Chain A
Amino acid sequence: MMSLENLKSILLFFLIISSLLLTVAIWNYQPDFRTTQTEDDLIDAQLNGNTLTKREVISPGQIVFHTGDVPVGLSEKANEQELFQQMMEWSLYNFDFTMIPEDEEIMEGNHLEVVFSTSIPMELAYDLFSVDSEIELPDTSFNRIYIQLDSDGSDQDYQLLFVDSRENQAIQANMQNFSQEMQQIMSLLADNQFNTFQSFVNSNGNRIYLPEEVEMNTLLFSYLQLPIEPFQNLLFNKPTNVRSSFTVNGNIVYTDGTRILEREQLRVSFTNPINENSADNVITEYQLLDQVQNYLNTHGAFTFEEPFSYFLSNVSTATHTNAVEYTLSYRGFPIYDKEEITTISVNWHNQDVYQYNHPFVQILDQRGVDQASYQLPSAEQVIEILEGENYHGSMIHDVTLGYQVEQHTGGQGQVYRLTPTWYVRGVRGWQPLLVPDEQVGGDYDAMGTN
């Protein structure tokens, strides 16, 4: 009898202990979901530049007022940008397809025309304006927005048109509190100076606008060379495996046997050959822009100081190239040059980088005072040149005022010089306006000294 009671005591003791152990085991049980993290993940891969939202990289080339006999615009670029900021407060609804009448004005009566230098995916309207996320936007793009000014909201069935000049279809939309918003726009414009535009029809039959009077100066800037280490850490899986060597022309090539990073004098370019082929699953231009911009923001790739900024200058999805490109601008004017120190471009395949180009220098502080530039050709003269011998038979897609950037050695030491220049976009992208020889030493120079 005693021994049975002893046995029961031992059993009970054992059961109590085991229940305690089991409870502890359940408490401490943690599934092993940790991925192996190596030291490489922790190294610094930051370019310490700015981050930009999608909204911040969209900036119009011009906002044109069709309210009188001739098209006019704001004479100050800063005011134009402020106006666009105001426009982005609009809340839009009622998006729908509409046909553009051929050989007719796209919009009659008083209206605004916002001109962009590149096509923008329609879906970006979610980011630019306030649009209900439940509204489905068509998968198209636009490079101009027309805004009806006279509409009282009743007889007109839409107030906005999103037009892609390559298509004959457009997207129409309505604006909430239309008259109120318009009043606000008008009050913003009340004390502004206006500048008239000369219009010119490009090779695609679209009207482009050239400002008649522009005050732009030649500017000098100091610059900073970016460090190469963050690029290595960012672009190679295991930076410690990377070896480098000089090329004959003084560049440095880095490789881990698979990927290649080349440090040229003024930019870095990277290629990952194993990501050359884009898989079958196609992404929209909006998704592409979203992914690339996220990628760039994560490592602070927008290396600029205000009032410089980067704007979206290309986004395209083709069969084998998904490309996004940003261009540097100064106070809203684009900066183009030959040495490609002003563009960030990414070729993006399979949610990862295939090719990446980034400037290796960052333009920094202004040096010296503004120098009055030699007289730029006037809008009228530009049109004359475009219709003349130099551009006979060549495509002209777009014309804009921008800055040309060049390295310059002078009293300020090594600096970059921004020179106001007319740029023409033809088959080979943006190129400076070709001023005919006889006019270089003649008219314009003479006018400059006057």
Chain B
Amino acid sequence: MQWAQIKTLFIICFLILNIFLVRQLIDRQEENLSFIPEATREDELALNLSGLDNLSDQTYSAPLIYAKNYQYNEETLEEVDALDNQRAAVINSTHLFSRFDHPIDVSMDDPQRLREIIDNNILYGESYMFWERDEQANVLIFFQRIEEPVFYNQHAVLLIQLNRDGEMVQYVQTRLQQEEDSEEEQDLILQYDAVSRLYYNSNELNTGDTIDSIRLGYHNLISLPNGEQVLNPAWNIQVNEDRNYFINAIEGHGYPRNRDFLQTTVASFTDVIDNASENNFQFIHTEDAEEEARLLNTIKQSLISVYHTIIEVESE
């Protein structure tokens, strides 16, 4: 009987002890959580930006890409040769300038048809992704995809010039080629973190802005003198349907805006025409030197007029 009473007493004691211990443990865990002020930052972000629900919680990984300029060799030139209705010049084996004999109508309202036209009239056209149409300069900008799009890279771009009737008249194409097998995949920062860094580290976002979409691509700032490039995975964040930002997806730093990309690219393309020595030209579908000179000149004048249009718009 006495033993039974002692047992009851012990049970009560241990019960109290256990309640105390459980509370201790919970306290410690909460203490740990309170070190992370994320909660308030999250609230602030949610309060000031809309469209955060579009972000994925998934963890992505991607390798860095080492690429160099694609060389248009004999074989690929034959493929260009197979394309009708255009006369082309390859300069330094890296830049393809081409002009259509008869302008091709592109309907911007029908993405399917645009895709078809690009695929059928441009070498490796299927590897270029439509980025935007510059209304002032009347130029379509396409970015090359190496698994993912390579954003704003002068060496991985397709610029198509349109005439007033919205028909393609000429284009310039550059390509990158992956140099070595991809290195190991690297873990990328979460989409949410990319937006958060854009919001807190740059002063670019305002209250009320909407995050429309976010996608993975590649971007870099510096290329090596031999043309080799180290392409870093980057999150492209589209805001309010017209502004694009890029956040390095490994380190999380922002990139400068590419406001004068078209201007500098067009300028560098005209430089390529001007500075190339004579034996760095290869022509396709031309008959004599006179025609070649005329073709080059037409393409160059057309690029220069695009350049002037951009500058005029800027100075207004």
**Is B14 a contact partner of A5 (Cβ separation < 8 A)?**
no
In the complex where A8-B7, A274-B254 touch, is A16 in contact with B14 (Cβ < 8 A)?
A: yes
Partner of B255, one of A16, A29, A274: A274
CB distance from A21 to the nearest CB of B (A): 9
Residues of chain B within 8 A of A340, CB atoms compared: none
Whether, in the assembled complex, A246 has its beta carbon less than 8 Å from a beta carbon of chain B, the answer is yes
In the complex where A22-B18, A22-B21 touch, is A244 in contact with B224 (Cβ < 8 A)?
A: yes
**Is A12 a contact partner of B21 (Cβ separation < 8 A)?**
no
Whether, in the assembled complex, A287 has its beta carbon less than 8 Å from a beta carbon of chain B, the answer is no
Q: State in angstroms the CA–CA spacing of A29 and B29 once bound together.
A: 9
Closest to B219 in A: A257
A220-275: which residues lie under 8 A (CB-CB) from chain B?
237-238, 241-248, 253, 255-260, 273-274
Whether, in the assembled complex, A414 has its beta carbon less than 8 Å from a beta carbon of chain B, the answer is no
Closest to A247 in B: B225
Whether, in the assembled complex, A25 has its beta carbon less than 8 Å from a beta carbon of chain B, the answer is yes
Whether, in the assembled complex, A26 has its beta carbon less than 8 Å from a beta carbon of chain B, the answer is yes
Whether, in the assembled complex, B289 has its beta carbon less than 8 Å from a beta carbon of chain A, the answer is no
**Is A258 a contact partner of B248 (Cβ separation < 8 A)?**
yes
**Is A12 a contact partner of B14 (Cβ separation < 8 A)?**
yes
**Is B14 a contact partner of A26 (Cβ separation < 8 A)?**
no
Residues of chain B within 8 A of A188, CB atoms compared: none
Whether, in the assembled complex, B277 has its beta carbon less than 8 Å from a beta carbon of chain A, the answer is no
How many chain A residues touch the partner (CB < 8 A)? 37
Closest to A254 in B: B224
Whether, in the assembled complex, A185 has its beta carbon less than 8 Å from a beta carbon of chain B, the answer is no
Whether, in the assembled complex, B208 has its beta carbon less than 8 Å from a beta carbon of chain A, the answer is no
Residues of chain A within 8 A of B231, CB atoms compared: 257
Whether, in the assembled complex, B144 has its beta carbon less than 8 Å from a beta carbon of chain A, the answer is no
Partner of B14, one of A19, A243, A246: A19
The total of Cβ contacts below 8 Å across the A-B interface reads 96
Q: State in angstroms the CA–CA spacing of A221 and B32 once bound together.
A: 59
Residues of chain A within 8 A of B221, CB atoms compared: 257-258, 273-274
**Is B230 a contact partner of A241 (Cβ separation < 8 A)?**
yes
**Is A246 a contact partner of B225 (Cβ separation < 8 A)?**
yes
In the complex where A258-B232, A258-B248, A273-B256 touch, is A253 in contact with B224 (Cβ < 8 A)?
A: yes
Residues of chain A within 8 A of B25, CB atoms compared: 22, 25-26, 29
Whether, in the assembled complex, B64 has its beta carbon less than 8 Å from a beta carbon of chain A, the answer is yes
**Is B17 a contact partner of A19 (Cβ separation < 8 A)?**
yes
Whether, in the assembled complex, A11 has its beta carbon less than 8 Å from a beta carbon of chain B, the answer is yes
**Is B28 a contact partner of A29 (Cβ separation < 8 A)?**
yes
Residues of chain B within 8 A of A8, CB atoms compared: 4, 7-8, 11
CB distance from A372 to the nearest CB of B (A): 46
Whether, in the assembled complex, B197 has its beta carbon less than 8 Å from a beta carbon of chain A, the answer is no
CB distance from B277 to the nearest CB of A (A): 15
- Max count, chain B CB within 10 A of own CB: residue among A22, A32, A246, A273: A22
Closest to A9 in B: B7
**Is A15 a contact partner of B15 (Cβ separation < 8 A)?**
yes
**What range describes how many residues of B lie at the interface?**
35 or more
Whether, in the assembled complex, A23 has its beta carbon less than 8 Å from a beta carbon of chain B, the answer is yes
B45-96: which residues lie under 8 A (CB-CB) from chain A?
64, 66
Interface of B is mostly: mixed
Interface of A is mostly: mixed
Partner of B11, one of A12, A33, A244: A12
In the complex where A8-B4, A15-B14 touch, is A255 in contact with B223 (Cβ < 8 A)?
A: yes
Q: State in angstroms the CA–CA spacing of A8 and B66 once bound together.
A: 71
Q: State in angstroms the CA–CA spacing of A19 and B16 once bound together.
A: 10
**Is B11 a contact partner of A256 (Cβ separation < 8 A)?**
no
B176-235: which residues lie under 8 A (CB-CB) from chain A?
183, 219-226, 228-232
Whether, in the assembled complex, A31 has its beta carbon less than 8 Å from a beta carbon of chain B, the answer is yes
CB distance from B184 to the nearest CB of A (A): 10
Partner of B32, one of A12, A31, A258: A31
Whether, in the assembled complex, A18 has its beta carbon less than 8 Å from a beta carbon of chain B, the answer is yes
In the complex where A237-B251, A255-B222 touch, is A23 in contact with B28 (Cβ < 8 A)?
A: no
Closest to B14 in A: A15
Q: State in angstroms the CA–CA spacing of A11 and B256 once bound together.
A: 67
Closest to A25 in B: B25
Q: State in angstroms the CA–CA spacing of A9 and B24 once bound together.
A: 26
**Is B18 a contact partner of A15 (Cβ separation < 8 A)?**
yes
Closest to B179 in A: A243
Whether, in the assembled complex, B253 has its beta carbon less than 8 Å from a beta carbon of chain A, the answer is yes
Residues of chain B within 8 A of A274, CB atoms compared: 221, 253-256
Q: State in angstroms the CA–CA spacing of A12 and B7 once bound together.
A: 7
List the 5 shortest-distance A-B pairs measured between CB atoms, nearest first: A257-B220, A257-B230, A15-B14, A22-B21, A245-B224
Seen from chain B, the residues whose Cβ lies within 8 Å of a Cβ on chain A are 4, 7-8, 10-11, 14-15, 17-18, 21-22, 24-25, 28-29, 31-32, 35, 64, 66, 183, 219-226, 228-232, 248, 250-251, 253-256
26 interchain pairs (CB within 8 A)?
Answer: A5-B7, A26-B24, A26-B25, A31-B35, A32-B32, A237-B251, A238-B250, A241-B64, A242-B230, A243-B224, A245-B226, A245-B228, A247-B225, A253-B224, A255-B224, A255-B230, A256-B232, A257-B222, A257-B229, A257-B230, A257-B232, A258-B221, A258-B251, A260-B222, A273-B256, A274-B221
